[in-house]
Every structure is written in structure tokens, then in C-alpha cells.
């Protein structure tokens, strides 16, 4: 199973990272639609897409307005956009208002049910997360493979049972430990609790993402701190491809 990290930054893009979007090209499954969504057409391998939104903050949805041309030119047959009902309504009302973006692509907006079937005999489930305005985390279980995507949340220990035992955990780590106070104020996570979650949940690999865009260096979160707690931790980078 392969996933491509199209965007690994938070809040706004910088020269190193675009905002959130992850894609499983062979399955046509996408998580979030941040500024990196412009990269989706290059990775298309299916005629149908399922997009799962964590919430409706701009850094996670603005890319929905980038996909008009691929849809008009027939590069895909269908695009289903899943999310909480209130978030989908806000997107349709505001992002695609006549004054902002008057040409709504032919998306099918679907309120998240308890579970969703995805290709390769996968089952997607979700959990509510603690974040201003609300957010959801996702997990997909296939025969022999599993992953969880958790972003825009604080207090990672709250979703330990949800991510337990996944082969791949992709989890936001907006701040290093030195800025833990800001993590609590903004509803984001910092390094040590995320690594402790991966250790306590017995996951296979931890990938840190949704990085503070003000930090553009090679180690914006203190990766060695995380690796001392959970050795199989890496820092996500734009266009990184992972097998799990």
C-alpha cells in the first residue's frame, strides 16, 4: 500500500511545504485538500476519487477550488467529498460563493457516515478530535494493512484506542516541546505527546506532519526527542512516498 504526502505544512504554504493533503493514488483516496491539492492531477491513477476532509479551515479545503479544470476536461469520472455536515455546508456556502469562486466543480458532497467502504476491501472510520471549530481523525483498515491520519488536535492521548495497532500513523506535530503552551492555546500538538501516543498505541511507524510554516529548517519539531520515545519516527516532507 502506498501513500504520497502531497502537503505537510500547516496554516499557510512556505517554500518548503504546502498545506495538508495526502493521497493513496492506487485507491483514489485523498485526505484533506490544502494548497498542495494542485499536485493531485499528476498522481491520478483512478477515474474516481474519495476526498475525506478533517475540517473546514482554509489550509485544509482551499485546494477544492483548484480541481475545476481536471473535472471539466474529463480526467476523472466522479469526486466524492466527505465531511461533517456543518463543514460541508460552510464550504459550499462560502468557498464556492459567487463572489469568491463562482464555478463549483461537480463534486458530490456526502455527510460522513459511521464507516465508508474504500477500494481494496478497506473500511474507513472516524473520530471527533479536540480543535477550535471541531475536527475529525481517520483510520482505514484493509486486509493486512492499516493507517490513521490525525491532524489539528491537542491531547493526543485522547485517541489512543482509535489508532491502536495501525501500521502507519500520520499525526500532526505543529510545535516542538518548547512551544507546548502554544499547542494548548491553538488546539495543536507538540512532539513528546505525539511520540508517546505512537509508543503506547503500538503503531508500526509514526510520520510527523502539519508543521508550523514559520519553521523551515531540517528539524522544526525536535525529531530526536520523538525518536528517543518511539524510534520508528520520521518527519514528513512534501512529495514523500511511503509504503506500509
Best CA proximity match to 237, nearest among 210, 198, 206, 197: 210
Distance CA 194, CA 208 (A): 8
Structural domains of the chain, with CATH = 2-243 (3.60.15.10)
Tell me the pLDDT tens digit for each residue of 52-74.
999 999 999 999 999 999 999 99
8 Å CB contact between 52 and 82: yes
Q: Which residues of 156-189 are buried (b: 16+ CB within 10 A; e: fewer)?
A: beebeebbbebbbbbbbbbbbeebbeebeebbbb
Average pLDDT value for residue range 117-123: 98
pTM of the complete model: 0.98
Q: What is the mean pLDDT of residues 166-188?
A: 96
- Whether the CB-CB separation of 209 and 242 falls below 8 Å is answered with no
Using one digit for the tens of pLDDT, what is the confidence trace for 188-235?
Answer: 999 999 999 999 999 999 999 999 999 999 999 999 999 999 999 999
Amino acid at each position: 500500500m502506498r501513500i504520497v504526502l502531497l502537503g505537510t505544512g500547516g496554516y499557510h504554504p512556505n517554500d518548503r511545504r504546502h498545506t495538508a493533503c495526502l493521497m493513496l493514488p492506487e485507491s483514489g483516496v485523498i485526505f484533506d485538500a490544502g494548497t498542495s491539492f494542485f499536485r493531485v492531477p499528476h498522481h491520478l491513477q483512478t477515474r474516481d476519487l474519495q476526498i475525506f476532509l478533517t475540517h473546514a479551515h482554509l489550509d485544509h479545503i482551499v485546494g477544492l477550488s483548484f480541481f475545476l479544470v481536471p473535472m471539466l476536461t474529463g480526467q476523472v469520472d466522479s469526486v466524492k467529498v466527505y465531511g461533517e455536515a456543518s463543514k460541508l455546508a460552510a464550504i459550499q456556502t462560502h468557498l464556492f460563493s459567487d463572489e469568491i469562486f463562482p464555478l463549483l466543480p461537480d463534486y458530490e458532497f456526502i455527510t460522513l457516515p459511521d464507516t465508508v467502504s474504500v477500494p481494496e476491501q478497506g473500511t474507513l472510520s472516524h473520530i471527533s478530535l479536540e480543535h477550535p471549530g471541531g475536527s475529525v481523525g481517520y483510520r482505514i483498515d484493509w486486509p493486512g494493512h492499516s493507517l490513521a491520519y490525525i491532524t489539528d488536535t491537542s491531547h493526543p492521548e485522547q485517541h489512543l484506542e482509535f489508532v491502536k495497532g495501525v501500521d502507519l500513523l500520520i499525526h500532526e506535530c505543529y510545535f516542538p516541546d518548547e512551544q507546548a503552551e502554544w499547542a494548548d492555546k491553538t488546539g495543536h500538538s507538540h512532539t513528546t505527546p505525539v511520540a508517546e501516543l505512537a509508543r503506547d498505541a503500538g503503531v508500526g511507524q509514526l510520520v510527523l506532519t502539519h508543521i508550523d510554516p514559520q519553521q523551515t529548517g531540517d528539524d522544526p519539531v525536535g525529531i530526536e526527542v520523538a525518536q528517543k520515545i518511539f524510534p520508528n519516527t520520521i518527519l514528513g516532507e512534501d512529495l514523500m512516498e511511503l509504503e506500509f
